[in-house]
A and B are shown apart, each in its own frame.
Chain A
Amino acid sequence: MNPAIVFRDLTVSYGHRPVFANLTGQIQAGSFVGVLGPNGAGKSTLLKVLAGLIRPAAGSVEIDGRPVKRRAESIGYVPQAVQMDEDVPLTGRDLVGLGLDGHRLGFPLPTRRRREAIEAALAEVNALHLADRRIGRLSGGERQRLLIAQAIVSRPRVLLLDEPLNNLDLASTQQVVELVKRLAHEGEMAVLLVAHDVNPLIGRADEILYLANGRMAMGPIDEVLRSEVLSDLYGYPVEVLRAAGRIIVAAGAMDGHAHAVSAASPEASVMLP
């Protein structure tokens, strides 16, 4: 089987602060990978390196066996859900069309092929009924599905989603994750989705890529989210708790307090005495 993404010895630093070093891995076509880790671990940075938007200090990225380059139609990119004014003059159809030929100058030729490609992408995200609605008047989840249609309309081999679940309610979150899973499996795309919380990915993502402390661990959720693996990654004791089908990652900190969050990373958003 031919991996869609191969990265070797990736090292990135901002100024003197190293973000991560010597990351090596590969992602198969048709595989849905969740990218997790604490804030500042370099999740979004890794995505941008894979997209060719950030040049790593060392290492290489290959998409379909070729070095990643600018003007890549084989990569789709979905950003965080953004707020838009209601009257912004842009419909769902316009938004998706920009994913097809938005990098070209002048006017799009209104060909049948263009129209069909846009309709097909809209249909894949169950958003045909949103085609003529303005994007500013849609809910966050609806807008996010349109951004996914925009990213896949050019039939990319690789789909990168940078925190697409932020600002979404629970129902929309599950809808988007289900959609992404289906696109990966049926569309034979390699999909990386950056998330804060592992829980919406349980039972849906094939693997997770956990970034912490400049290093990574990759594999099925149950193999990576284990105390031994995460403790080794962080370099200090980390507990993984499972309760009512949810996963909570908790770190025993040096001051004797335990930090816990449901976001599957030991950040101190909840302090336990």
Chain B
Amino acid sequence: MTLGWIQEALASAPVQHALVAGSEIAFLSGLVGAFVILRGQSFAGHVLTDVGTTGGAGAYLVGLNGWFGFLSFGVIASVGMELAGGRTRGERDLATGVVLSLALGFGALFLYLDAQLAHANASMAVLFGSLFTLDPALVPWISSLAAVCAAAMLLIWRPLALASVNPELARVRGVPVRAMSIAFMVVLAVAVETDALVAGSLLATALIVGPAAAAARFVSNPLRAGVAAGVLGAAIVVASVLLSYDSYNWLPQHTSWPVSFFVAALAFLAYVVPAAARRFGVRRMAEVTEA
């Protein structure tokens, strides 16, 4: 078997852009994902993808790049959820659910209008991702935004962790707990909404939840789990981009399989395979002890 196709893939500009932007945002997503688990906020991640759908579809409608729509709606929604939410998690989820259905209603309208009036392909791009058709001008923006957000996470991870497990003690020690929550939600929004470019808004949380859940099984410190999840996520995106490129030759009709499928499949494998291996390993050890 020859690996010449990988060299060929790496020589292509869209593949290069996809690899750079995709792996950077995947690293941020894994890092953020560990704190989503610590804070029990995976519901918020799902909300942001749904609201992002509306923003992305709306952006195509007015002729903007989808990323700006995803990002602006996601950031507004994340701050709004923090500010408007009730005191308990239940109240917050309820308030979020109501706003969410309104946003999704508009999302449905925008996707329909996209298909009728603007871009026939817009709804495919919004829902399933558009990594290979990424505007090259966006790559530096995505890179620097991901870098700034990752740096911010590394800077605030301790106060954020303290505010997550014991908000009163955090406030006694002078941590601005509210500001921490808002900052985290904005970083989460950046990660989720940029993931929507990679894996589509339907699967944007795959890169947040999957690698972090896999890493959290083996690494028990939030920061180390986050970094491990980030590296895993980046590896998943690199593999997905290359597989998607190669899949052009898999069927006689010659059509590339979407990156989002590979991302979801690999994230699932990363979560399931180690667990299965561990269970198998435990059983084998049990047999050894019996023998």
Q: A51-B168, A106-B155, A162-B168 are in contact. Are A89 and B222 (CB under 8 A)?
A: yes
CB of A6 closer than 8 Å to a CB of B: no
Binary B-proximity of A88-114 (CB < 8 A = 1, otherwise 0):
111100110011011111111000000
CB of A147 closer than 8 Å to a CB of B: yes
How far is A104 from B163 in the complex, measured between Cα atoms in Å?
12
Task: Enumerate 29 A-B pairs (CB-CB under 8 Å) in ascending A order.
Answer: A48-B168, A51-B172, A52-B172, A53-B172, A70-B174, A71-B173, A71-B174, A72-B173, A76-B169, A76-B172, A77-B169, A79-B167, A79-B169, A87-B37, A87-B216, A88-B37, A89-B34, A89-B219, A89-B220, A89-B221, A89-B225, A91-B221, A94-B220, A95-B165, A98-B162, A99-B169, A102-B169, A105-B156, A106-B154
Partner of B162, one of A48, A72, A103, A162: A103
The answer to whether B173 touches A103, judged by C-beta atoms less than 8 angstroms apart, is yes
The answer to whether B216 touches A88, judged by C-beta atoms less than 8 angstroms apart, is yes
15 additional A-B residue pairs with CB within 8 Å, beyond A89-B34, A90-B220: A51-B171, A76-B169, A90-B222, A94-B220, A94-B221, A99-B162, A102-B158, A102-B161, A102-B173, A103-B158, A105-B155, A105-B156, A107-B154, A107-B158, A162-B168
CB of B38 closer than 8 Å to a CB of A: yes
How far is A51 from B167 in the complex, measured between Cα atoms in Å?
13
How far is A135 from B161 in the complex, measured between Cα atoms in Å?
13
Partner of B40, one of A72, A85, A132, A151: A85
Q: State the Cβ distance, B93 to closest chain A Cβ, in Å.
A: 16
How far is A77 from B219 in the complex, measured between Cα atoms in Å?
28
The answer to whether A105 touches B159, judged by C-beta atoms less than 8 angstroms apart, is yes
Q: A88-B37, A89-B220, A91-B221 are in contact. Are A72 and B161 (CB under 8 A)?
A: no
The answer to whether B37 touches A102, judged by C-beta atoms less than 8 angstroms apart, is no
Which residues of A are in contact with B by a Cβ distance under 8 Å? 48, 51-53, 70-73, 75-79, 82, 85, 87-91, 94-95, 98-99, 101-108, 132, 134-135, 147, 150-151, 162
Q: State the Cβ distance, A197 to closest chain B Cβ, in Å.
A: 22
The answer to whether A77 touches B216, judged by C-beta atoms less than 8 angstroms apart, is no
How far is A75 from B40 in the complex, measured between Cα atoms in Å?
27
How far is A77 from B154 in the complex, measured between Cα atoms in Å?
26
B168 nearest CB neighbor, chain A only: A77
Residues of A within 8 A of B175 (CB): 102-103
How far is A103 from B157 in the complex, measured between Cα atoms in Å?
10
The answer to whether A98 touches B158, judged by C-beta atoms less than 8 angstroms apart, is yes
Partner of B171, one of A53, A73, A107: A53
Q: State the Cβ distance, A239 to closest chain B Cβ, in Å.
A: 35
Residues of A within 8 A of B219 (CB): 89
The answer to whether B172 touches A102, judged by C-beta atoms less than 8 angstroms apart, is no
The answer to whether B169 touches A151, judged by C-beta atoms less than 8 angstroms apart, is yes
The answer to whether A101 touches B172, judged by C-beta atoms less than 8 angstroms apart, is no
CB neighbors of A among B200-239 (8 A): 213, 215-217, 219-225
Q: State the Cβ distance, A214 to closest chain B Cβ, in Å.
A: 23
The answer to whether B38 touches A89, judged by C-beta atoms less than 8 angstroms apart, is yes
A162 nearest CB neighbor, chain B only: B168
The answer to whether A150 touches B222, judged by C-beta atoms less than 8 angstroms apart, is no
Main secondary structure of the interface of A (DSSP, over half): loop
B173 nearest CB neighbor, chain A only: A103
How far is A94 from B171 in the complex, measured between Cα atoms in Å?
18
The answer to whether A105 touches B158, judged by C-beta atoms less than 8 angstroms apart, is yes
How far is A206 from B158 in the complex, measured between Cα atoms in Å?
36
CB of B170 closer than 8 Å to a CB of A: yes
How far is A53 from B175 in the complex, measured between Cα atoms in Å?
11
Residues of B within 8 A of A91 (CB): 220-221
CB of B166 closer than 8 Å to a CB of A: yes
How far is A79 from B215 in the complex, measured between Cα atoms in Å?
29
Q: State the Cβ distance, A226 to closest chain B Cβ, in Å.
A: 33
Residues of B within 8 A of A70 (CB): 171-172, 174
How far is A73 from B171 in the complex, measured between Cα atoms in Å?
11
Most buried by B among A72, A82, A87: A87
Q: State the Cβ distance, B248 to closest chain A Cβ, in Å.
A: 38
Q: A87-B37, A87-B216 are in contact. Are A77 and B166 (CB under 8 A)?
A: yes
Residues of B within 8 A of A104 (CB): 158-159
- 10 nearest CB pairs, A to B: A71-B174, A102-B162, A89-B225, A103-B173, A77-B169, A98-B162, A89-B216, A77-B168, A70-B174, A87-B216
Residues of B within 8 A of A72 (CB): 172-174
The answer to whether A147 touches B166, judged by C-beta atoms less than 8 angstroms apart, is yes
Residues of A within 8 A of B170 (CB): 102-103
Q: A103-B170, A103-B175 are in contact. Are A90 and B161 (CB under 8 A)?
A: yes
How far is A107 from B169 in the complex, measured between Cα atoms in Å?
19
Q: State the Cβ distance, B31 to closest chain A Cβ, in Å.
A: 12
The answer to whether A103 touches B159, judged by C-beta atoms less than 8 angstroms apart, is yes
Residues of B within 8 A of A102 (CB): 158-159, 161-162, 169-170, 173, 175
